[in-house]
Amino acid sequence: MTLLSIDPGLSIGWAKFKDNLLYKWGIEKIDDNRVWPFPVKQATNVDEVVYERFFVTQPFQDTRTAEVIGVIKYLCVEKGIPISHQEPSMLQFVLSRFLHNKQVDYSTYSSHALSAIMHGIGYLYLKGEDVIPIVNQITKERINEL
């Protein structure tokens, strides 16, 4: 099974998990003219997609994140790929349950790729998958690469 996990925003963090291992990850910056390429490129050869839910919290908040989510949802429907969302609070759950001894101070760390990895771990865990092999792949050095 291949899972694509996405932390949408003006910088899109993404992570691919294949057979319960972290396979690839990255960050893609978008602008008004580049909403489509990221999802088209990454939503190939995946069995499931999970993304972090987006909330509008200010009256004049930038809506490009919502546009990215819309494109991702559209592509998933078109390709028949199951899609789910998670609350942002999943990050704190994964950090406290699995990454507490990895020396990750997420309160000062803003990597969207790390966020996507954490959402993937949380999603797989809630599905009953063994996430320990993924957690074991995560080291402080790898986190610093993000």
Q: Are 138 and 101 in contact (CB under 8 A)?
A: no
In the prediction, which pLDDT does 141 show? 64
In the prediction, which pLDDT does 146 show? 56
In the prediction, which pLDDT does 2 show? 92
Give the CATH number of the domain where residue 138 resides: 3.30.420.10
In the prediction, which pLDDT does 48 show? 93
Residues 6+ apart with CB under 8 A from 108: none
Q: Which two tokens stand for residue 44?
A: 């190939």
**How many other C-beta atoms can be found within 10 angstroms of the C-beta atom of residue 94?**
25
Domain span at residue 96 reads 2-145
Partners of residue 125 on adjacent β-strands: none
Structurally, how many domains does the chain consist of? 1
Each of the 146 residues of the chain gets a pLDDT tens digit; together they read 899 999 987 788 889 999 989 988 888 877 666 555 565 566 678 899 999 888 777 777 777 778 888 888 888 898 899 999 998 888 778 877 777 666 555 544 457 888 898 899 999 999 999 988 888 887 766 666 65
In the prediction, which pLDDT does 135 show? 84
In the prediction, which pLDDT does 50 show? 94
The amino acid that residue 49 corresponds to is V
In the prediction, which pLDDT does 108 show? 44
Q: What is the DSSP letter of 61?
A: -
